[in-house]
Structure 1
Amino acid sequence: MKRTDIGQYAVSIAGSESVRAFVPAPLPPEPQLQLEGTVRDALDRALLALGRLDGAAATLPDVHLLLYTYQRKEAVLSSQIEGTQSTLDDLLAHEIGEAAGVPLADVAEVSRYVAAMTHGLRRLREGFPLSNRLLREMHSILLESGRGAEKTPGEFRKSQNWIGGSRPGTAAFVPPPPQEVERCMSDLERFLHSNAPALVKAALAHVQFETIHPFLDGNGRIGRLLITLVLCHEGILREPLLYSSLYFKQHRQQYYAELNAVRESGDFERWLEFFATAIRVSADAATTTGRRIFTVFREDRDRLKGIGRQAPTALLIQEALQAKPLATIAALTEVTGLTTPTVTQSLRELEKLGIVRETTGKARGRVFTYARYLDALNAENEPKVG
């Protein structure tokens, strides 16, 4: 559905140029959303998929084992949309003090995303409201050092920004003038506290945030984090096990096209259908992956029980690697309480079975990865839309 009252343009100064900046109308859209037909079907299917994911999380032996890697996978994928080259393996290596295979700035950026996500979810669990203050806190963490640190972390912008193009005059889109940002974000905060259906609220909040583009940097990542925050805050997900950025990354051009369709014609229904499909496919993938990972855990335990005298210590190593699937011998010695020779011998047994893989090729300072776990985590193919 196309709308005429979607916002207005205002003249803004960006550098030495005068540009037309778009100021979106407050949510919810007027006239009201037409949630019927294919849009309703997409929303219903997404909610069912989220229910399956939440139900699966409740039945898995220890869902918190998945949170560590699921959250990091989302951080990697969301950051890749913005151009970083860091992989999940790079991030896990960085977190244990090992050199990653990409520039430090890339992997540090993803690490700060994890910290921002963790902070936001912890604040919500403590009863802090989903608010602009929380978004600013998360933004401050996201850009606290490295690239973007000079772009006023934790503060709404006081200058004009733009999306696409080498300068404002050639931009694909120019967000609201800086003097309108505070008001636009206050309107968005009010919508976050409205009684709109949770999935609709997450979808509209994301597109509105991206349109306002309230920060000088990091808007895409905070905007995608907002999706998870809304779904957890509204009780749709008890645990943040959704990595929707995989779908957005694999359908990047359509993702941007649907965001632009809202800004250009107010076609919120078209965006809702795309968003709901993204959530459904992502939730189903997360459910399947979780079950696959715990199948790997069970199969590996059964295989290790049959190796004889080394079985008890090898099982302790496997259990430690379930919590953090990349580790050094020193780290495994500390967490299990075993001696260095015992850990080393147990790792040899796990290597023989193809359960772990040594990643450095060095004689000293070796790093071991729970290969079957990470292979299962990364086993998704291109998501199917149908």
Structure 2
Amino acid sequence: MKRTELSGGVRERLVRLPDPYQISRILSRREAVSSSAMEGTHSTLDELLIADEDDGQVGQAVRQVRDYALALERFVPSALIQGRQIFQIELIQSLHRSVLGHDASYRDTPGDFRQEVVWIGGNGHIVYSVYNPPPPAEVPYFLEETLDYMREDGMQMMTQSLITLMALAHAHFEAVHPFRDGNGRVSRLLLPLMMAAKDQVPLYLSPYIELHKQAQQKLNWFPLIGFVSNAIVQTVQELRITREALRILHAVWLTRRIFRKGSAALRTLKILAAYPVLTAPKLGTLLSITPPAANTAINQLCQVGIMRERTGYARNRIYASDEVLGILNRPFSEEPIVPKANR
């Protein structure tokens, strides 16, 4: 296997995906929801998308989850540009600050390495711990060793696949446990960054990991590599199913009314997969149309059940496509529900 390949036919599947980045904004938010949920911070895709349009009333949990998604949007492009040299101590600290910056319960300064001994398992007492990460004084050394591995500064760059790199780096980072909290989120953020740094389409694996979290093998290399391999294959398959469901949904919408060619309403249908929650001003910006044209398009889509007003406000209204959200927000591996076409 070449070191730039993923596994089997996964790379070929990715290449066949039409415009793989088209709904990446949604995928990054699904990733944020799943990754944060594993750490006890809960939000929903709907809440994140509404926060994108109006963050004035966002609660702390939603803000934290949204910070995770924004970190992906910030650092994945950097990884594509910088390649594997992005994996430096400063990146790890920046990622931690990004996901813990709005966590009022975090006792340390986000981005600073822990200064206390920690342990994993044991029901609150180190005597019964399952695993003991290195003491605080040794964290920088072992983290740098992990980052050396991620930069492929050794011979492994000649022999190991990207999947092996991802699996072992993920395990080693969590073993170092550089922060008092937030290590899992930072570790999962690093997975798509490692893909992007190798010129691969970055996949967001947390929905799969959340579903199968009991199956992860800690520091047991072969099962762990197999776990990451399965996560990649199943995530690609999930993306293909989602894209097909959205294609069918678009065809169903076209049966609900006659859309004038080139109309704002017809053009809106094409962007609802990426923006299933939006405002009239946002639609005007996305389509470069006037406010009256944006409002007319939204009203036409509301009349046939493609969109729905969510706030009940007279002003600053937020609209959503519940059918798109139903497809995008379904549990991982669950078949999407697509409405039937009008006869």
- Equivalent of residue 325 in structure 1, options 271, 276, 291: 276
Secondary structure in 1 matching 2:119: coil
Would the aligned equivalents of 1:326 and 1:368 in 2 still touch at CA under 8 Å?
A: yes
Q: Deviations over 1:110-146 (max 9, x none)?
A: 1111222223212222326132332222222222233
Residue 340 of structure 2 corresponds to which residue in structure 1? none
Which structure 2 residues correspond to residues 148-297 of structure 1 after superposition, within 5 A? 150-164=107-121, 165-194=123-152, 195=157, 196-235=160-199, 237=200, 239-240=201-202, 242-255=203-216, 258-259=217-218, 262=219, 267-297=220-250
Q: Which has the higher strand share?
A: 1
Contact residue 285 and residue 380 of structure 1 kept, 8 A? no
Corresponding residue of 2:14: 54
Q: Displacement of 1:202 after TM fit?
A: 0.4
Could you tell me the TM-score, scaled by structure 2's length? 0.83
- 1:167–1:359: structure 2 CA closer, same or farther, 3 Å change rule? farther
- TM-superposed deviation, 1:273: 2.0
Distance in 2 separating the partners of 1:277 and 1:291: 21
Distance 1:383 1:365 in 2: 34
Deviations along 1:208-245, one digit per CA (max 9) or x if unpaired, are 1111111222100111111111122223x2x32x2211
State how many pairs are aligned: 323
Partner of 1:65: helix, strand, or coil?
Answer: coil
Establish whether residue 73 from structure 1 lines up as the match of residue 30 from structure 2. Answer: yes
Aligned equivalent of 1:117, options 59, 72, 96 = 72
1:342-381 residue CA offsets vs partner (Å, 9 max, x unmatched): 4333222212333222222344332111333222223455
* 1:378 corresponding residue in structure 2: 329
Would the aligned equivalents of 1:46 and 1:280 in 2 still touch at CA under 8 Å? no
Output aligned runs, 1:309-348, within 5 Å. Answer: 312-348=263-299
Distance 1:343 1:253 in 2: 47
Contact (CA 8 Å) 1:116, 1:139: kept in 2 or not?
no
Report deviation, 1:203: 0.5
Bigger radius of gyration: 1
Partner of 2:316: 365
Does residue 82 (structure 1) correspond to residue 39 (structure 2)? The answer is yes
Identify the match of residue 107 of structure 1 among 62, 66, 73: 62
The 10-residue stretch of structure 1 (319-328 or 74-83) with the greater mean CA deviation from structure 2: 319-328
Q: 2:332 and 2:194 mapped to 1: Cα distance?
A: 27
Q: Which range moves more in the overlay, 191-200 or 283-292?
A: 283-292
What residue is the counterpart of 1:93 in the other structure? 50
Give the whole-Å Cα distance in 1 for the aligned partners of 2:12 and 2:304: 33
| Counterpart Cα distance in 1 of 2:256 and 2:297 | 10
**CA-atom RMSD, angstroms?**
2.9
Q: Structure 2: any 5+ residue segments left out of the alignment?
A: 336-343
Offset of residue 304 of structure 1:
7.2
| SS of alignment partner, residue 278 of structure 2 | strand
Does the C-alpha gap of structure 1 residues 354 and 48 become closer, same or farther in structure 2, counting only changes over 3 Å? farther
Q: Which amino acid aligns with 1:306?
A: I
Counterpart amino acid of 1:193? R
- Residues 76 and 110 in structure 1, CA contact (< 8 A), matched pair in contact too: yes
Consecutive unaligned residues of structure 1, counting only runs of 5 or more, are 1-39
Matches within 5 A, 1:12-31: none
After superposing on structure 2, the runs of 4+ consecutive aligned residues of structure 1 that deviate more than 6 Å are none
TM-score (norm 1): 0.74
